[in-house]
Chain A
Amino acid sequence: MIGYLVARLVGALAVLAGMSLIVFTLQQIIPADPARAAVGPTAPLTTVQLKRAELGLDQPMLEQFGRYVQRLSRGELGTSTRTHRPVTQDLRQFLPATLELMSFGFLFGVALAVASALFHLSSRIALLLRTLLVALGSAPIFLIGQVLALLLWYRLDWFPGGGRLDAQLIPPDGPTGFLVVDGLLRGRLRICADALHHLALPALTLALPLSAAVGRTLASSIKGVLQQTYIRTARIKGLTDGELLRRHVLRNAAPASLAMLGVQFSIMCTNVMIVESLFGWPGLGFYLVQSYATSDLPAILGVSMTFAALYLSVSVLLDLLQALLDPRVRVL
């Protein structure tokens, strides 16, 4: 087990290394001039040249890569040409918002997926539910966001449509950066409630496609498992439905769903860009869209690495879970 874990971690590090190389190469291909972007279109050529020297853009490729790797190992990701602050500082500011949004989106998604998979067992609504899930999984993320915003915000006013917190409230300087958690930890329940209220629509938008895909996979896996002979054996032995579910069904139905969960998480990493923009959520996705608009290379590359690291961590965790549930997987 430990060996498996170590192997996965080493593999993940190798992937990150490859990622950094790709990210650096991208930096070289792109014709936009980061120095020009930093000083603006009206600055004279001398100012641009000063900036180029400052950013080290005239040095040979190998030297630039060397400096890049050096800085990366120290955790330095350069300075954003748009906000003029270190990218790591921007990350520290915007990452918690995205993590909070994605966590809740993930949780809602998994909960909805399990719920829908279990509802599948009742054959009466199974067909309707199945069609509904297929429909959800077929909708582009911006359609889901648009419809939810139009209905639940604009028309019904049940949920707020922008930001993390009501403009009148002051967010706690909390330990985690998650407003819901920090609100709870600090005993400020109003913050916690308001944050949840603001999270509802964007998290739901992220959750729906995930729940549709994972729900269908889970439902079909469960169906597959229930048809196996050992289930019949277990029933004959006298296991109740609940024990059956816990001991056999979920464990065996899980692997395919965990794989799908991994894929859906990677999709969520890209969906979060659109969802954050649609709902004015001040997170990394929103930051990334703004960075693209201004060709802010250091920021774009720094955020790419962050998302890559995030996905890798989740991927390793899911693989671990899979290994725990299915001993056969560990033999790799």
Chain B
Amino acid sequence: MRPIRHLLLRGLLAVALPGMVSGAPAENVLHIAYLQDVSTFDPDNSFLLYGLDAMRVIYQGLVEYRPGTTDLTGWLAESWDVSADGLTYSFRLRPGIRFHDGRPMHAADVLAYFRRRRHPGLTLAYFLDDVAAMEAPDERTFVIRLAVPQPAFLDRLASAWGPKVIGPEALVDHLGKDQAQSWLNEHEDGTGPYRLRVVSRGQAYELVRFPDYWGPPPFFDRIEIEVIPQMAQQLLRLKQGTLDLIQHGYPFEGLRQLPPTLRMLAYDDLGLELCFVNRTRRLGDPTLLRAVLTAINPAGWLGDAYFGYAVPATSLYPRAMIAAPPQWVFPSDVRAARAMVAAQPPVTLEIGYPDEDAAGQQIPAELIAAQLESLGIHANVRVYPIDLAGVFVNDLKEAPDLWISHNYPDAAHPATQAEIFFAGNAPLNYLGYRNPSVDEAIASAALITTRAERDERYLAIARRLMADGAILPLAEVKNVIVYRAGLSGFNPRPALPEVVDFETLRRDAPAR
């Protein structure tokens, strides 16, 4: 769709500059963008959402999820065994795997990597907290022994943030005193189909196909990643054709009239829009809370926020994790709520949301504020940097009254949701809800192996939290990929947030 002038200019330049017109076949290049910079390419230290798709094709773990499902399948491991007592996991590794530095991967390398992952200075070390011992009895066998049974263990290994084997160029050649953390900021030594090249930190990255990859070669020779922090810019570039897709964040109301060159793919993931409530201040009052719940009720604003791409959540778990009928009903009597508010002294509430994915949370938060306003409650809406959010977990002095966020569990097992958001010591228990009996329930539920009983236990925990008014389910929002026509093979996985599978992505039609 470029104007003729540009086509002519390109044609002229193509002829004028030697080397551009040669006998070599044209390269297949994909152009994507991130809204924020990748914090680090170290798979054991990266907790942000940006870069997970790149990480997935640079590094690989033992197991992964099958596309479109939460079923596990082998990745670097071609098969595995779990002992009857649930404590010993034996993995049979695939043959013929090479690291990007050329060296072959054996079980000893996997062991060395897993040892590195456990280093206490690394952000994601907690994944291997319950591990008692690890060994590599032969070249293709890797064994992990847990101290206590952990039914969620394999899911954790398949997590987007799970352990992914790093090779000797990092762990041997550049180990240094910091476990190779600084080297891994800008370099990599993985086993995946693409190699990383940091073109310019904070601006541009490049994934280049790895010729010695053990699996079938991916379609694209190169993937160019640019950091474009303004969604408005990304939209323009997508429409112009200099960007190939937007994985997340395309304005929902814009989906109603997509230009003819663009297509969209909407799918369910494990993300859940939740509202956390601060019960230590104004909302400790149950009558006020009931009135406020009338305003928070998604039925009143969901359509205006997501234009049909979201449904009210049924429980505190996404349906892809636990499919259940609605476990909670919001009060809906607006008139009663107004009367309740009018009978009280004037109230001002603080609503907060995290700056990661600020664009996505701004509209729901402001809609809820408008709903509260119509009841007679004034609400202020603020963004909080993610590290302040970590403070609120323990210290509620400066915490808002309501916290709206879009949350992803570590993996598809409900334990990874409960242990991160609901437990007393959970790192993302945003407004510090503490209930020892809930903690006990979470600990015992983690040991159940039968699916039906496990789900019922976790749902019971959720019901308790909702009845206590601590955490409320808002919505399950579809993730929508908007892309230029001709692309296919996205293979999204619910447990991998906003991750497009570059290994299977292909372009069926000419680029321009």
Taking Cβ atoms with an 8 Å cutoff, the residues of A that contact B are: 31-34, 36-37, 39-44, 46-47, 50-51, 82-85, 90, 93-94, 153-154, 157, 161-163, 167, 190, 277-280, 282, 286-287, 289-290, 293-295
| CA of A205 to CA of B382, assembled, Å | 30
Known: A41-B47, A167-B31, A280-B230. A47 touches B122 (CB 8 A): yes
Q: When the two chains form their complex, are residues A161 and B233 in contact, meaning their CB atoms are under 8 A apart?
A: yes
Q: Is the CB of B398 within 8 A of A31?
A: yes
Taken together as a complex, chains A and B put the C-alpha atoms of A295 and B389 apart, in Å, by: 12
Q: Are A277 and B185 in contact (CB under 8 A)?
A: no
Tell whether, in the assembled complex, residue A50 and residue B120 are in contact, meaning their CB atoms are under 8 Å apart: yes
Are B202 and A162 in contact, with the CB atoms below 8 A? no
B201 and A290: CB pair below 8 A? no
Contact of A280 among B125, B200, B233 (CB under 8 A): B233
Residue contact B202 to A282, C-beta cutoff 8 Å: yes
Least CB separation from B392: chain A residue: A41
Once the chains are docked, how many angstroms separate the CA of A46 from the CA of B129?
Answer: 13
Evaluate whether A286 and B185 lie within 8 angstroms (CB atoms) in the complex, with A32-B388, A36-B387, A293-B385 already known: no
Interface presence of B237 (CB below 8 A): yes
Contact of A40 among B2, B37, B228, B386 (CB under 8 A): B386
B391 within 8 A of A: yes
| Complex-state Cα separation, A62 to B190, whole angstroms | 45
Contact A33 B233, beta carbon cutoff 8 Å: no
The proximity string for B residues 424-438 relative to A, scoring 1 for CB distances below 8 Å and 0 otherwise, is 000110000000000
Chain A residues whose CB sits within 8 angstroms of the CB of B125 once the complex forms? 47
Is B420 interfacial (CB-CB < 8 Å)? Answer: yes
Q: Which residues of B contact A90 (CB under 8 A)?
A: 201-202
A83→B37 contact, CB < 8 A? yes
Alpha-carbon gap, A282 to B205, bound state (A): 13
A82 B37 Cβ-Cβ under 8 A: yes
CB-nearest residue of chain A relative to B427? A42
Task: Assess the A33–B200 pair: CB atoms within 8 A.
Answer: no
**Shortest Cβ distance from residue B17 to the other chain A in the assembled complex, whole angstroms:** 8
Could you list 17 A-B pairs, sorted by A, with CB under 8 Å? A31-B398, A37-B386, A40-B48, A41-B47, A41-B427, A47-B121, A50-B121, A84-B39, A85-B201, A93-B202, A167-B242, A277-B229, A277-B230, A280-B228, A282-B203, A289-B229, A290-B36
Binding site for A on B (CB under 8 A): 2-3, 6, 13, 17, 31, 36-37, 39-40, 47-48, 120-126, 181-182, 185, 200-203, 224, 226-230, 233, 236-237, 242, 355, 385-391, 398, 420, 427-428
Instruction: Tell me how far the C-beta of A291 lies from the nearest C-beta in chain B, rounded to whole angstroms.
Output: 10
Q: Are B185's CB and A167's CB within 8 A?
A: no
* B48 in contact with A280 (CB, 8 Å): no
Q: How distant is B146 from chain A, measured CB to nearest CB, in Å?
A: 19
Min CB distance, B34 to chain A, in Å? 12
Assess whether A42 is in contact with B201, with CB atoms less than 8 Å apart.
no
Known: A41-B386, A42-B428. A93 touches B229 (CB 8 A): no
Q: With A84-B182, A85-B201, A290-B202 given, is the CB distance from A31 to B123 under 8 Å?
A: no
Residue contact A286 to B386, C-beta cutoff 8 Å: no
Q: Which residues of B contact A46 (CB under 8 A)?
A: 120
- Give complex CA distance A167, B203 in Å: 11
Whole-angstrom distance between the Cβ of B399 and the nearest chain A Cβ: 12
* Minimum C-beta distance from B356 to chain A (A): 9
B330 to chain A, nearest CB (A): 28
Residues in chain A near residue B120, CB distance under 8 A = 46-47, 50
Q: Which residue of A lies closest to B355 (CB)?
A: A293
B229 touches A290 (CB 8 A): yes
For the complex of A and B, 3 pairs with smallest distance between CB atoms: A40-B47, A37-B387, A36-B387
Query: If A42-B123, A293-B385 touch, does A85 touch B355 (CB 8 Å cutoff)?
Result: no
List 16 other contacts, CB 8 Å, given A50-B121, A289-B229: A34-B387, A42-B123, A42-B126, A42-B420, A44-B126, A47-B120, A47-B121, A47-B125, A84-B185, A153-B236, A167-B31, A167-B224, A282-B227, A290-B37, A290-B229, A294-B386
Query: In the bound complex, what is the Cα–Cα distance between A117 and B388 (angstroms)?
Result: 51
A37 touches B36 (CB 8 A): no
Q: A278's closest neighbor in chain B, by CB?
A: B230
Q: Which residues of B contact A157 (CB under 8 A)?
A: 2-3, 6
> When the two chains form their complex, are residues B201 and A33 in contact, meaning their CB atoms are under 8 A apart?
no
Tell me the bound Cα distance from A286 to B203 in angstroms: 10
Shortest distance from the beta carbon of B344 to any chain A beta carbon, whole Å:
31
- Provide the residues of chain B in CB contact with A41, threshold 8 Å: 47, 386-387, 389-390, 427-428
Which chain B residue shows the least CB distance to A156? B3
Whole-angstrom distance between the Cβ of B359 and the nearest chain A Cβ? 12
Contact: A37 with B200, CB < 8 Å? no
List A contacts of B48 (CB < 8 A): 40
Q: How far is the CB of B70 from chain A (nearest CB, A)?
A: 21
Quick one: which of A37, A94, A153, A293 has the most chain B CB within 10 A? A293
Instruction: Chain B residues near A85: list those with CB within 8 A.
Output: 185, 201
Q: Is the CB of B229 within 8 A of A162?
A: no
A324 to chain B, nearest CB (A): 40
Complex: how many Å from CA A88 to CA B17? Answer: 37
Residues of A within 8 A of B237 (CB): 162
Q: With both chains docked as a complex, state the minimum distance between the C-beta of B1 and any C-beta of chain A, in angstroms.
A: 10
Which residues in B have their C-beta under 8 angstroms from that of A34?
A: 387
B103 to chain A, nearest CB (A): 26
Min distance, Cβ B102 to any Cβ of chain A, angstroms:
26
